[in-house]
Amino acid sequence: CLISNTCQSGFAFGTVGWILCTISMGLVEWRVWHVNNTTIITSGVAWVGIWKVCFISYLHISPGLKEQFCHKFNNSEAFIPHEIYVAQGLLLTAMVIGALALGFTVIALRNIYMGIVYKSKISSFFLAGGFLYIVASLCVLVPVSWNFYAVTHNQSIPFPPSYYMPSSPEAQEVGAAIPVGIISAILLMMSGTFSLSYRFPVTANIREES
Which one is the CATH code of 5-27+80-196: 3.65.10.10, 3.20.130.10, 1.20.140.150, 3.40.640.10? 1.20.140.150
Helices (H), 27-173: 82-113, 119-152
Do residues 146 and 138 touch, judged by C-beta distance below 8 A? no
Backbone dihedral region of 74: left (phi > 0), alpha (psi from -120 to 50 degrees) or beta?
beta
Name the band, by pLDDT with cuts 50, 70 and 90, for residue 113. Answer: confident
Residue 64 has pLDDT above 70, yes or no: no
What would the pLDDT profile of 141-197 be if each residue is shown by its tens digit?
A: 999 999 999 999 999 999 888 888 888 888 999 999 999 999 999 999 999 998 888
Please report which helix (H) or strand (E) contains residue 173, including its range: strand 171-174
Q: What is the pLDDT of residue 175?
A: 93
Q: What is the pLDDT of residue 29?
A: 93
Do residues 136 and 157 touch, judged by C-beta distance below 8 A? no
68 three-class SS: strand
Long-range contacts of 5-9 (CB under 8 A, 24+ apart): 6/194, 6/197, 6/198, 7/109, 7/126, 7/194, 7/195, 7/198, 9/194
193 three-class SS: helix
Order of strands across the sheet that contains 52-57: 67-72, 52-57, 45-48, 31-34, 171-174
Comparing C-alpha atoms, which of 112, 144, 108 is closest to residue 27? 144
| pTM of the shown model | 0.84
Do residues 147 and 85 touch, judged by C-beta distance below 8 A? no
Residue 99 has pLDDT above 90, yes or no: yes
Name the band, by pLDDT with cuts 50, 70 and 90, for residue 210. Answer: very low
What would the pLDDT profile of 5-61 be if each residue is shown by its tens digit?
A: 667 788 899 999 999 999 999 999 999 999 887 778 888 899 999 999 998 877 654
Residue 207 has pLDDT above 70, yes or no: no
Q: How far apart are CA 161 and CA 167, in angstroms?
A: 10
